[in-house]
Amino acid sequence: MPALVSLNDGGTLMIHATVLVAPRADDNCLMRVVDALLHRGVAIEAGVLDGPPAVEDALAACVERGTKRIAVLPFLFREDERVLRRIRQRVSGFHRNHTDLEIHVAPSVGFDARLVEIAHDYIDQTASGMDSDETAPLLTIAGCLHRPMAFTYADLRRVPGQIEDIGHIVPGRRGSAVSVADLLRGAAVHADARQAVFHSADEGFFARVSVATADEHGILVYRIGEHPLPERLGGPIRLFIPETDDKCANVKNVVRIELVP
């Protein structure tokens, strides 16, 4: 398992590791966080106050890997001085037998402003689901087609080739999408269609790109998980055209696609 490595002021190699400590062994969230951090290459162990794996066992596992500096993070989402005191006592007891180590107990996770953003996302997603009418068209396609098309949320959900996580296509973004190519595949587009105009409901804004570019790179984000994409995140439909530097490659609140010569 990888560890974080740095040099101290004297040039000595220092290996860092982290122990995440929870009060109880039944904290499934603890193990999920540990597993996620392991996948990111973080040298981390889980320790539990009242059950295995014991805090001391987690610290010992770090030592066995040659770790010299250990950060202990109390996995608590509310301040509990009694629990924090017990964690410090257990760590101090271990430290007395390993005086060559540098061990620090960090503040508990506690309140973090990022939790507000997460809560806001869940509120938006739930509200969008309550407000949405799955029979109402979210997107229409018109212009150089044999027949205009309209898509409800349910229609978009049935489009083949669902992109479940756009993060690997548009780094730093979240959501699920369909490709413009898959959407147009059944649209019977006229041969003379050269430009795709993406119309936003926001003050008449629109973006014009070539049909070839839209077909090759364009994706339309319309949900997060099983909930409609919130308006706050550019919903109900947001266009991304990655691999281009054009400012038109990101359009919020798309309601209509018009294909023109």
Walk along the chain (261 residues) and give the pLDDT tens digit of each residue: 333 333 333 333 345 788 888 887 766 788 888 888 888 888 889 999 888 889 999 999 999 888 888 999 998 877 788 999 999 999 999 999 999 999 999 888 777 777 777 777 667 666 665 555 667 789 999 999 888 899 999 999 999 999 999 988 898 888 999 999 999 887 788 889 999 999 998 877 899 999 999 999 999 999 988 888 888 889 899 999 987 765 557 899 999 999 999
**In this structure, is residue 121 part of a structural domain?**
no
Total residue length of the chain:
261
pLDDT at position 246, please?
58
- The predicted pLDDT at position 68 comes to 87
pLDDT of residue 10: 36
Residue 127, pLDDT score:
64
pLDDT at res. 5: 36
Residues 150, 236, single domain; the answer is yes
Q: Give the model's pLDDT for residue 252.
A: 93
CATH code of the domain containing 226? 3.90.420.10
Does one domain contain both 100 and 167? no
Print the domain residue range for 176: 134-260
One domain, residues 144 and 105: no
Query: What pLDDT was estimated at residue 129?
Result: 59
Q: How far apart are CA 118 and CA 230, in angstroms?
A: 13
Is residue 127 included in any domain, yes or no?
no
Q: How much is the pLDDT for 117? A: 72
**Structure confidence at residue 144 (pLDDT):** 92
- pLDDT for 131 equals 56
- Count of domains for the chain: 2
Question: Quick one: pLDDT at residue 8?
Answer: 37
Residues 252 and 139 placed together within one structural domain of the fold: yes
242 part of a folded domain: yes
Domain assignment present for 219: yes
Residue 147 and residue 63 share a domain: no
pLDDT of residue 128: 61
Q: Domain with 46 in it: what CATH number?
A: 3.40.50.1400
In this prediction, residue 12 carries a pLDDT of 36
Which residue, among 178, 175, 189, 177, has the nearest Cα to 233 in the 3D structure?
175
Q: Tell me the whole-structure pTM to 2 decimals.
A: 0.56
99 in any annotated domain: yes
